[in-house]
Structure 1
Amino acid sequence: MAEQQERMSLEQFFEWQQRQERNYELVDGVPVLTVKAMTGASVRHDTVTVNAILALGNRLRGGPCRPRTSDQSVITFRGTRRPDISIECGKPDDRSMATDEPRLIIEILSPSTTRYDRFQKLEEYKLLDAVKVILLVDTEAPRVTVWRRGRDGWGNVEIAGLDQTIDVPEIGCALPLAELFDGLRFAAAPGSNDASISASLIGGA
């Protein structure tokens, strides 16, 4: 029987992570490779990630909030997670490996991570006081599930269509879906005469 792996504290994990070539998450005291670290990201996933960083980064420039990539960890009750994008509105030390106030979390869904991101990681994020909004972004359709913290707890709404915009007053800006999905093509809705639709056409690019 294999020996049980010794569990790490957050401090031990971050010190250990600096010596690794790939990004890990700390889950219940045990370092675990992220799916993206094991398999890489598809072009669709990477396109949406870059689009979101560009769109939000430009709108947030000069303000108190800014985008962070999955190189930055978000600390949860189970350890650490690496969302595709977080919007940091705190003031962490510039050598910190974790966010200070991740007000918005964005997970770009893929076939291999959809179930995990929609359930396990979502519930961990919702327990963080700093997190006010969570976006689960579909890459197979121009669709985003928006989870928002309200007075009575969390609620969600689905926003779909390249002509739609997600208002995020929690960080003082909005995110047009045409920009989020720029450069991707999607299958047309049933009954449409078009074989596919391009986000760049909707966005006027």
Structure 2
Amino acid sequence: MTAVAIKMYTQEEYLELERAAEYKSEYYRGEIFAMSGARFNHNRIKENLSIEIGGFLKGKNCESLSSDMRVHIPENTLYTYPDLLIVCGKPEFLDDHLDTLLNPSVIVEVLSPSTGSYDQGKKFYLYQSLKSLTEYVLVDSQQVGAQVYRKSDDGVWFVSSAAYDIGGTIKIGHIGLALQMTTIYGQTISLM
């Protein structure tokens, strides 16, 4: 049996490749991971959230950005593309390319069969290194369910809001927005 060497990349090499690529990849500790496409319900939920959150933030000090905005966490080297994020105040970027955000306030991930465990586990752990991050929202794309994790003043993360039925509501406290599950899951297939 022979071991296969894994090519390791520097962050600079990753950014050079990523900026020229036709598809998105994540980076963590020297490794590059290709991202797969998402299913209909995942995209429908993400679009519903984008419309509701974006409309709510219009004219305010915060703005929402979709999954094309890369986020970098210098403390642990992760480069990733959250499904949706909210940045409040002045956006801070890695460099003059303005394609890698450093200071999201809220991150929203829509859970898929292939990424759900990662989004709820290691990725959440890695996101916690972001000093600017106050809330982490997880929305299930396979069944009705959502949780909002909030960081307390002493840095402890806890579930601040959750709903598991179509009549429920979750609240993104950082921006003061209550989201009804009927809105989040509107036009999905076989979930309502």
TM-score, shorter chain, exceeding 0.5: yes
1:90-113 C-alpha deviation (Å, 9 max, x unpaired):
324684111232111111111111
TM-score by length of 2: 0.85
Between 149-158 and 57-66, the greater mean CA deviation after superposition: 149-158
Residue pair 2:65, 2:85 contacting (<8 A) in 1 also:
yes
- Mapped to 2, the partners of 1:163 and 1:108 lie a distance apart of 19
Match of 1:155 in 2: 158
Indicate the structure (1 or 2) with the bigger Cα radius of gyration.
1
* Alpha carbons 2:139, 2:147 under 8 Å: kept: yes
Match of 1:173 among 171, 177, 184: 177
Summarize the alignment of residues 41-60 of structure 1 with structure 2, pairs less than 5 Å apart. 41-60=38-57
Query: For residue 78 of structure 2, what is the aligned residue in structure 1?
Result: 79
1:60-101 CA distances to partner (integer Å, 9 max, x unpaired)?
011122221221111121321111111122324684111232
Letter in 1 for 2:142: E
Unaligned regions of 5+ residues in structure 1, if any? 188-197, 199-205
TM superposition shift of 1:179: 1.0
Counterparts of residues 96-135 of structure 1 (less than 5 Å): 96-135=98-137
* Per-residue deviation, residues 111-136 of structure 1 (Å, max 9, x unmatched): 11111111110111122111111111
Structure 2, unaligned stretches of length 5 or more?
none
- Aligned mate of 2:142, from 140, 143, 151: 140
Question: What are the Cα deviations for residues 9-42 of structure 1, in whole angstroms up to 9, with x where unaligned?
Answer: 2x442232111111011111222212x2xxx211
Aligned residues: 183
Name the residue aligned to 1:13: 14
Displacement of 1:186: 4.6
Greater displacement, 164-173 / 108-117: 164-173
Moved over 6 A (4+): none
Equivalent residue for 2:65? 68
Q: Distance in 2 between matches of 1:133 and 1:184?
A: 25
Looking at structure 2, the residues matched to 167 and 45 of structure 1 have their Cα atoms a distance apart, in angstroms, of 20
* Alpha-carbon spacing, 1:114–1:6, altered in 2? closer, same or farther (3 Å): closer
Structure 1 164/101 Cα, relative in aligned 2: closer, same or farther at 3 Å?
same
| Superposition deviation, residue 171 in structure 1 | 2.0
> Shift of residue 49 of structure 1?
0.6
C-alpha separation in 2, matches of 1:32 and 1:110? 16
Alignment of 1:22 with 2:20, yes or no, is no
